[in-house]
């Protein structure tokens, strides 16, 4: 069998698959950010906190109401989405006419408040979330042992990413959205309720973050800081893919997951920075990102 730089192919395939799984989280989260930025021009720094809310939502449903994981997958994202809608209606709405920077500051501040609130009540060590029976165990693929929970993550996020892409690019609702992004005044003149569209879009982007949080609950420790660590990477993914590009953020999410996975084999110490190195390189060559159109 061939070996690549001393790494046997089984190991390599395993790492590539794991990279894709991590990429799924990046893809779902960056997709939400891209949708929100595309329509609202808001850089949603609360995204990491909303991802954390998703995981805590699942934990609370299980521990306070005895509602299991599979229900949580459907119940929690809309709830998190509604918290986003409230936030948009009350606060973010007031900043649309201002520079991006204000939106960034507001959402960043909101993230700090939400995370601080949860830290106060739940500590930082996190809470146990047992995976449902269907997701325990796994399969031996020959080159690696694939836990069912990870297989489910990759499957679920692919479905959600494709569905989102389809809605935005191929349906009438998506056409309204894209039109409102280009020229909100004109779309409003055609009788479409643009503010409502904007609110719902923000809610949807936030629900995507909540969804990723539910997916993460059985895998990672459910703790208040879980999103803060991830969100910076996800922002880099969005920047590399091109701000506001739907397909771009999905593809870069999975792609960067792969690259990060490979770095973990060849030079694990560098795996935390590789994405930022790529971001710097991409910005040098294509400032609008890989899939972005320059203004």
Partner 1 sequence: MKKMGFILASTASLLMAGAAYATDVKIGVLNDRSGIYADIAGEGSVIAAQMAAEDFKAADKGINVSIVSADHQNKPDVGSNIARQWYDTENVDVIADVPTSSVALAVNEITKEKNKIFLASGPASSDLTGKACSPNTVHWTYDTWALANGTGSAMVAQGGDSWFFVTADYAFGHALERDTSAVVEASGGKVLGAVRHPFPGQDFSSFLLQAQGSGAKVVGLANAGGDTINAVKQASEFGITQGGQSLAALLMFINDVHALGLDVAQGLVLTGAFYWDMNDQTREFSARFQERNAGQKPSMIEAGVYASVLHYLKAVEAVGDKDAAKVMAKMKEMPTDDPLFGKGTIRADGRKLHDMYLFRVKKPEQSKGAWDYFETVATIPADKAFRPLADGDCPLVK
Shortest gap between Cβ of 216 and partner 1 (angstroms)? 9
Angle formed by the axes of helices 194-216 and 148-170, nearest 10° = 170
Closer residue to partner 1, CB minimum distance, 231 or 238: 231
Binding residues for partner 1, rule: CB under 8 A, are 8, 10-11, 14-15, 18-19, 21-22, 119, 123-128, 130-131, 137-138, 144-145, 147, 149-150, 219-221, 223, 225-226, 229-230, 261, 264-265, 268-269, 271-272
Shortest gap between Cβ of 11 and partner 1 (angstroms)? 5
As a whole number of angstroms, the distance between CA 33 and CA 134 comes to: 31
In degrees and rounded to multiples of 5, residue 251 shows phi and psi of -65, -45
Closer residue to partner 1, CB minimum distance, 37 or 129: 129
Residue 265: how many CB atoms within 10 A of its CB? 18
Shortest gap between Cβ of 84 and partner 1 (angstroms)? 23
Closer residue to partner 1, CB minimum distance, 120 or 185: 120
Shortest gap between Cβ of 98 and partner 1 (angstroms)? 30
Residues whose CB is less than 8 angstroms from the CB of residue 273 and which lie 6 or more positions away in sequence, other chains included: none
Closer residue to partner 1, CB minimum distance, 124 or 281: 124
Closer residue to partner 1, CB minimum distance, 232 or 283: 232
As a whole number of angstroms, the distance between CA 291 and CA 288 comes to: 8
Shortest gap between Cβ of 222 and partner 1 (angstroms)? 9
Closer residue to partner 1, CB minimum distance, 26 or 202: 26
H or E, element range at 178:
helix 172-182
As a whole number of angstroms, the distance between CA 211 and CA 21 comes to: 15
Shortest gap between Cβ of 230 and partner 1 (angstroms)? 7
Closer residue to partner 1, CB minimum distance, 87 or 265: 265
**Angle formed at CA 96 by CA 79 and CA 173, multiple of 5 degrees:** 55
Task: Assign 93 to helix, strand or coil.
Answer: helix
As a whole number of angstroms, the distance between CA 264 and CA 70 comes to: 32
Shortest gap between Cβ of 10 and partner 1 (angstroms)? 7
Judge whether 217 and 10 are in contact, CB under 8 Å: no
Cα within 13 Å of Cα(142), Cβ side: 2
């Amino acid at each position: 069998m061939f070996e690549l730089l001393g790494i046997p192919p089984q190991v390599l395939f395993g790492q590539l698959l794991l990279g894709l799984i991590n990429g799924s989280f990046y893809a779902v989260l960056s997709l939400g950010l891209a949708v929100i930025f595309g329509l609202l021009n808001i850089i949603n720094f609360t995204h990491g906190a909303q991802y954390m809310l998703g995981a805590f939502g699942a934990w609370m449903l299980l521990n306070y109401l005895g509602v299991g994981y599979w229900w949580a997958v459907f119940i929690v994202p809309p709830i998190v989405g509604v918290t986003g809608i409230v936030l948009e209606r009350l606060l973010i709405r007031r900043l649309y006419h201002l520079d991006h920077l204000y939106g960034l500051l507001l959402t960043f501040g909101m993230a700090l408040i939400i995370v601080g609130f949860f830290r106060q009540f739940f500590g930082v060590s996190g809470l146990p979330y047992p995976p449902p029976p269907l997701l325990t165990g796994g399969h031996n693929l020959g080159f690696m042992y694939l836990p069912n929970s990870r297989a489910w993550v990759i499957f679920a996020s692919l479905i959600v990413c494709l569905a989102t892409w389809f809605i935005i690019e191929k349906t009438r609702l998506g056409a309204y959205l894209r039109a409102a992004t280009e020229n909100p005044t004109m779309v409003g003149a055609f009788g479409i309720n643009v503010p409502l569209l904007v609110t719902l879009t923000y809610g949807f982007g936030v629900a995507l973050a909540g969804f990723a949080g539910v997916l993460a609950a059985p895998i990672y420790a459910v703790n208040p800081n879980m999103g803060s660590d991830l969100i910076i990477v996800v922002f880099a993914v969005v920047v590399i893919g091109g701000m506001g590009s739907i397909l771009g953020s999905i593809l870069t999410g999975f792609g960067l997951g792969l690259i990060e996975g490979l770095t973990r084999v060849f030079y694990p110490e560098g795996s935390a920075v590789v994405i930022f190195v790529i971001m710097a390189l991409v910005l040098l060559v294509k400032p609008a990102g890989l899939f972005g159109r320059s203004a």
